[in-house]
Structure 1
């Protein structure tokens, strides 16, 4: 996804750099660091905190697919999503299991019926497993998934779901959120996202689950050569038992707010395409990501503590 538009690169940099008001550390600060040292530098900048748990939603199931590439050929803007799992003491949790799932560019989840924009003619994806997968954290607590930018559906802002398992009783259920300006441009200008009829009715500001999750659940997004690179630190307490909470209901008599009437500004991203050669199942013998550490140069945490 090589782009020669400096204005667009500046837009993406500003979008990421303003999430939570945090700053990007210079690449030179970590150029000579080992993976372990890089992880310590990353989580040592007053940003290590437990990630809030939120509802898993109605579309979770475990297809038992250990795989890095979860696209199964679905078209969309490629994403390289990297998450670093750490504990309350800011130490990486090696071997943590991370499940990931989200909707496709048309707003559909795999393996569920009754979906789609047309309520009179709902879509069924029963038996399908696209955009779902599992990875195990490496020694730096890092997992990596290859996927596509998620679409939207009514009642929710743009998001990706995840679960982290550290043992039989401890798990964290969370969601990852994205800059609204970037989502708006993708949905309005890039096929297949722009092929849909209607407009989304929910953005970050009026999504109750996003409000519950807080700024720590907003990922940093930057442009790479072939995909958008998305990064997030996930703080888990391995000694805690999971207590999944539901999102708070909207106040009585208050209708949900819609997106700004004039939409959002910024240059449209280009280079959208379906990933080539996406596998339909896990690699032989399972397998995890490449194990490269998340560096501060590619990450802006959700917020200052």
Structure 2
């Protein structure tokens, strides 16, 4: 995926430690190393670039495994496709909601390149009851045995700017829900853990219309020595298919 031709690159000097957020109940580790995570999911295209930076040195973090996962246009997560996204759940911890299937759409990981960047082809996420639109991210600092390394350094959620989300939510794939989406400011996780610092920069892919999809990017500053409390080794063992 090439960067949007009119979009500036994330600034190299942005190296503030990014706020962590919970992994949520729909985390799993399918060990899918892939750039295109859509698996044919219907929705407005989203090309995503994330740049991982060491918050202490401002240097790019290469060879980190960056996983993302998010819901589809109707608010469903793969692995939990039969959970009704129009009914709010009151639990947020990993494993709190039993899996209903082995689907893997809208999940995957990439190793960061020498510039600390990863790129994904996906769709614009929908929403589920009680939350604003968001994308989950986890960053693992890898050892010699890549896919068995469990050093999760950072876990977060990235939010979508409402000016871009409004027209998307009015399209056929996203519309017709029985619940209303929360604005970012109405989402407790957004207001308590990051706010604008956790909001993606979004640009239309097409020069004249957003209907061809969006390009989104963000620089994420992490502590490479940290061990996140939000995804633990036992979470990988229990919830890997």
Q: Same fold (TM over 0.5)?
A: yes
- Pairing of 1:28-39 with structure 2 (within 5 A): none
What is the total number of aligned residue pairs between the two structures?
A: 202
Structure 1 residue 193 corresponds to structure 2 residue 168: no
Structure with the bigger percentage of helix:
1
**Deviates further, 68-77 or 178-187:** 178-187
Q: Is the 8 A contact 1:109 1:125 kept in 2?
A: no
Instruction: From the superposition, tell whether residues 170 and 59 of structure 1 become closer, same or farther in structure 2 (CA, over 3 Å).
Output: closer
C-alpha RMSD of the superposition: 2.3
Q: How does 1:110-121 map to 2 (within 5 A)?
A: 110-112=78-80, 113-117=82-86
Structure 2: distance between partners of 1:55 and 1:152? 17
1:61-118: per-residue Cα shift (whole Å, max 9, x none)? 0111111000110100000000000102110011011000000000000102433326
Judged with a 3 Å threshold, the aligned counterparts in structure 2 of structure 1 residues 82 and 142 are, in CA distance, closer, same or farther, namely same
**Correspondence for 2:160:** 178
Stretches (4+) displaced over 4 A = none
- Aligned equivalents of 1:70, 1:184: Cα separation in 2: 23
Cα deviation for residue 240 of structure 1 reads 1.9
* Alignment partner, residue 213 of structure 1: 194
SS at match of 2:78: coil
Whichever of the two has the greater Rg, that structure is 1
Which secondary structure does the structure 1 equivalent of 2:175 belong to?
A: helix
CA–CA separation in structure 1 for the residues paired with 2:140 and 2:87: 36
| Matching residue within 130, 133, 137 for 1:158 | 133
1:138-149 paired onto structure 2 within 5 Å: 138-149=113-124
Cα distance in 1 for residues equivalent to 2:152 and 2:40: 33
2:213 aligned with 1:233, yes or no? no
- Structure 2's unaligned 5+ residue stretches are 1-5, 89-98, 143-149, 207-211, 232-241
Query: Which residue of the other structure, out of 101, 104, 129, is the alignment partner of 1:126?
Result: 101
In the alignment, the residues of structure 1 paired with residue 154 and residue 87 of structure 2 have an alpha-carbon distance, to the nearest angstrom, of 33
Q: Distance in 2 between matches of 1:125 and 1:181?
A: 34
Correspondence 1:13-92 to 2 at 5 A: 42-44=11-13, 47-88=14-55, 89-92=57-60
Query: By percentage of residues, which structure has more strand?
Result: 2
Whole-angstrom CA distance in 2 between matches of 1:179 and 1:207: 13
- The TM-score, its normalising length taken from structure 2, stands at 0.77
